Chain A
Amino acid sequence: QKEVEQNSGPLSVPEGAIASLNCTYSDRGSQSFFWYRQYSGKSPELIMSIYSNGDKEDGRFTAQLNKASQYVSLLIRDSQPSDSATYLCAVKLGTGNAGKSTFGDGTTLTVKP
């Protein structure tokens, strides 16, 4: 079992729809969770971070964390073609790994006009 797993893509949604990206992790000691967006040929850029159970909203993006289920998700409302990218889930494991995070393989999202 991978330490961080993301739902296999590719995911395709029509423009204006809600895109839902999911991620599960194996280490219950994980404390910090991040979502990154990576456009083709570019490096990842941080979208959101979340540390507590529940929802965290930032514009069209909502991150949801459920530590009991070891699950974190990212919802993108009113999806735009410019949201088409690969989304990476990252989890910071335990307390001793200074800054080291484990990344999922990513889910590629395509938003069709």
Chain B
Amino acid sequence: SQTIHQWPATLVQPVGSPLSLECTVEGTSNPNLYWYRQAAGRGLQLLFYSVGIGQISSEVPQNLSASRPQDRQFILSSKKLLLSDSGFYLCAWGPGNTIYFGEGSWLTVV
């Protein structure tokens, strides 16, 4: 069966520091991969998606970037965090238009 893992689970970072969130999927090949963000008290917003290695599509202009260095690895990064980057970040994968989420990473920028 397929599993998805992301880490770290929680982190507190100062404004202006870099960020790296990692996500890996097991049990499948060439999955579609996604990063969503859930800001406090709000719904989920798609940030990035990838249909293959090195192929990244950005949905919203922002302070973040994504990379897919391997087939089942998806990384969310920032060079300099802003207070507004705080939130719950969710990696997801899916065949077709049905997606399955990881456990999420809580980011607090202070």
Question: Bound pair: A and B?
Answer: no
Q: Which residues of A contact B (CB under 8 A)?
A: none
